[in-house]
Amino acid sequence: MTDPIYSDPDFVQFYDIENQSGRADFDYCIGLAVNRGSVLDLGCGTGQLAAELADGHNVTGVDPASAMLDVARRRAGGDRVDWVEADARTVRLGRRFDLILLTGHAFQVFLTGEDQMAVLGTIAEHLAPGGLFIFDTRNPAEEEWLEWTPQRSERAVTHPGLGTVKAWYDAEHDAATGIVTYSTFYDIPGGRPVLGAESKIAFPKKEDLAGMLDETGLLVEQWLGDWQGTPYGVTSPEIIPIGRLR
């Protein structure tokens, strides 16, 4: 939860640039929020979705990375969100919400079953009766990490202040644990040292998620396989549970 790509401003400056290719997840969550007065965005990152939802909703955004929240507070609409610097495993806000989001694959930064259960416990603790939760995690069956090689992932990132920056990933999958260790690199022009940082993410299986959700008192009403609303299948790119308190 304190990986440099989230906590170091040198990396955070690339976050929104690298995550602007699509907004199907935003659109789906905004649709879920209709007629729901309060929203908790766990792992809100730089706060783009939370700020959009603040137009018509009471929104709280939680993230452990101060550098991400610095961006969130400065963005348009950021003054309408209650930003909280805290860990999703342990945060307790003393209130309940009509909708709880954990998007952007933030669930995958929790590497152990104990940590994943703790996050689901946070959702259960803060979900209002009749409220909905939704989160996403990549389907391990798709083995997306195979695309995270330097050759396959190399790309040109256009930064407003730094110009064209060459970026790439490198990754290694541990079959025993399901954890992927990946590194993110930015080669900034002008003779600067290459920025590099290592991160780890988990790829839990759907059946394991189902067991943990049930154990924490959360009832899944739908399993989606993508943000277009397609039902989950074994080859779906995403695992997206939507549900309520049991």
pLDDT tens for 25-43 read: 999 999 999 999 999 999 9
CATH superfamily ID and name for 4-140+204-245:
Vaccinia Virus protein VP39 (3.40.50.150)
pLDDT tens for 229-243 read: 999 999 999 999 999
Mean pLDDT across the chain, nearest whole number?
Answer: 96
What is the mean predicted confidence (pLDDT) over 76-93?
97
Which tokens belong to 76? 């348009």
How high is the pLDDT of residue 3? 86
Rounded to 10 degrees, what is the CA torsion of 71, 44, 231, 179?
Answer: 100
What is the mean predicted confidence (pLDDT) over 49-55?
96
How high is the pLDDT of residue 2? 67
183 has pLDDT over 60: yes
227 by DSSP, 3-state: which?
coil
Q: Are 40 and 60 in contact (CB under 8 A)?
A: yes
Cα radius of gyration (the chain): 18
CA separation for the pair 1, 9 (Å, rounded): 15
pLDDT tens for 153-173 read: 999 999 999 999 999 999 999
> Where do the DSSP E strands lie in 56-178?
58-63, 81-85, 97-102, 127-135, 137-138, 155-159, 163-173
1 has pLDDT over 70: no
What is the mean predicted confidence (pLDDT) over 174-200?
95
The candidate with the shortest Cα–Cα distance to 206, out of 192, 225, 183, 188, is 225
How large a percentage of the chain has pLDDT more than 90? 95
Q: Are 212 and 199 in contact (CB under 8 A)?
A: no
Query: How does strand 218-224 pair with strand 195-202?
Result: unpaired
Which tokens belong to 49? 């979705």
pLDDT tens for 210-223 read: 999 999 999 999 99
What is the mean predicted confidence (pLDDT) over 3-16?
93
How large a percentage of the chain has pLDDT more than 70? 98
CA separation for the pair 214, 191 (Å, rounded): 53
How high is the pLDDT of residue 76? 94
Query: What DSSP designation does 30 have?
Result: H
CA separation for the pair 237, 246 (Å, rounded): 27
How high is the pLDDT of residue 21? 67
